[in-house]
Amino acid sequence: MEQKRIYLDNCVTTKPDPQIFEVMKEYWENEYWFPATFFTAGEEINSKLDNFKATLGKTINAKPDEIHFTRGGTSANNIAIKGILMANSQKGTHIICSVVDYPDILTNYAFFEKSGFTVTYLQPDEDGVVSAQKLKDAIRPDTILFSTTWVNHVVGTIQPVDEYAKVLQEADHRVFLHVDAGQAYGKFPMDMNHTGIDTMSVSAHKIHGPQGVGFLYKRTKTPLAQVVHGVNRVDNLETGGMNIGSLAGFAKAAELTFADLAATTKKLRDSSNYLLERIMNEIPDVELNGAAGEGRACHNINVSIDYIEGEAMGMMLDLNGVTAATGSACASQGLKPSYVLMAMGRNHMQSHGSMKFTVSKFTTKEELDFTVDKLKEIVIELRRRSPLYQEKKDK
């Protein structure tokens, strides 16, 4: 019998929870209508969408009308960043992010840099943390936006968003705060009433929901220019038709995740800690990348395994039925070192030898044991062939 694939790349996407399928099926088979006024079918969907927004808003202590449905996190990031800058460009043309941010933020900022904006890129420390002091020092009279990635997508480091918000609130003029929460949502509590976040992006498929939908949190009175134009079917910011069944699935996935968030995150933390402990204790010359303990997200483990290539380890794990990642999932198509690890001060060998394992609520101890056992065999074999390792042994 063929072995079931072990999936440890859950930062990219997660297995949909089986409980969302029946919820989604009802909309695809029977309630497939778009929202509308005056007519029964459309009014029913309007009411359902309001319920979905209330469910999602509750997970972050936000009002339902602050939740805007999108076609995913990338769309939400584009709507927020472009919308804020286009609505406020008369107030300034200086924007701030960090060199370790998610590609959605970096590519949007590069676009505006070519369009006449000035960008300040903040550097992280060796754990991938960008300090609030660096943000404070970078603010200028013409600064209008700071964007950050709450949980780093490569190493799992949690950024001090509350400290950022305090710095921006104490600035002598209005500076907006946009947060990419793709890796953070469902990994720890969030309360929009106690943060200074203006806009925040979330993807459904990171919490066992369907692919292709997400939401943008927009604080009341945060001005956004319209950047997606078309018929207002579901949302006034993400115009055009959307998959209502997937939105229902998203709401259900959020309901399941946040029903007992402490238990959800404890399972993830226990799994990742167990995996890390076995790797560090049983494989020599391994270094943890990113913050340790509570400073990193509960699902992410990134390690550098010296003297061998992460791509080779990843391919050999794949041949053994294990899916994991090397470096940044959004930049792994080539053999370039991870820009995040390099910014943290890792050398080329450490970056090229990095492996990222991200667990989910469906990950079992048996799967982790199998993965580590295979990884140990792979490391021994690859190091046997590695001239760098042989050189180290000969010294």
**Same domain (yes/no): 112, 226:** yes
Amino acid (one-letter) located at 206: K
Are 191 and 60 a contacting pair, CB within 8 Å?
yes
**Same domain (yes/no): 192, 325:** no
Residues 6+ apart with CB under 8 A from 94: 117, 118, 119, 120, 140, 142, 143, 144
Domain count, the chain: 2
CA distance 293 to 329: 23
pTM, full prediction: 0.95
CA distance 300 to 266: 13
**Same domain (yes/no): 193, 219:** yes
**Same domain (yes/no): 245, 288:** no
Domain termination residue (choose one: 258, 278, 296): 258
CATH of the domain at 145: 3.40.640.10
**Same domain (yes/no): 291, 251:** no
Tell whether 1 is covered by a domain: no
Q: What's residue 331's pLDDT?
A: 47
- Annotation says 97 is catalytic: no
Domain termination residue (choose one: 258, 273, 304): 258
Domain extent at residue 242? 19-258
Catalytic residue among 11, 97, 298, 330: 330
**Same domain (yes/no): 200, 64:** yes
CA dihedral 114, 115, 120, 122 (to 10 degrees): -60
pLDDT tens per residue across all 395 residues of the chain:
467 899 999 999 999 999 999 999 999 999 888 887 777 878 889 999 999 999 999 999 999 999 999 999 999 999 999 999 999 999 999 999 999 999 999 999 999 999 999 999 999 999 999 999 999 999 999 999 999 999 999 999 999 999 999 999 999 999 999 999 999 999 999 999 999 999 999 999 999 999 999 999 999 999 999 999 998 888 999 999 999 999 999 999 999 999 999 999 999 999 999 999 999 999 999 999 999 999 999 999 999 999 999 999 999 999 999 999 986 444 445 567 899 999 999 998 899 899 999 999 999 999 999 999 999 999 999 999 887 777 677 66
**Same domain (yes/no): 94, 221:** yes
Average predicted confidence (pLDDT) for the chain:
94
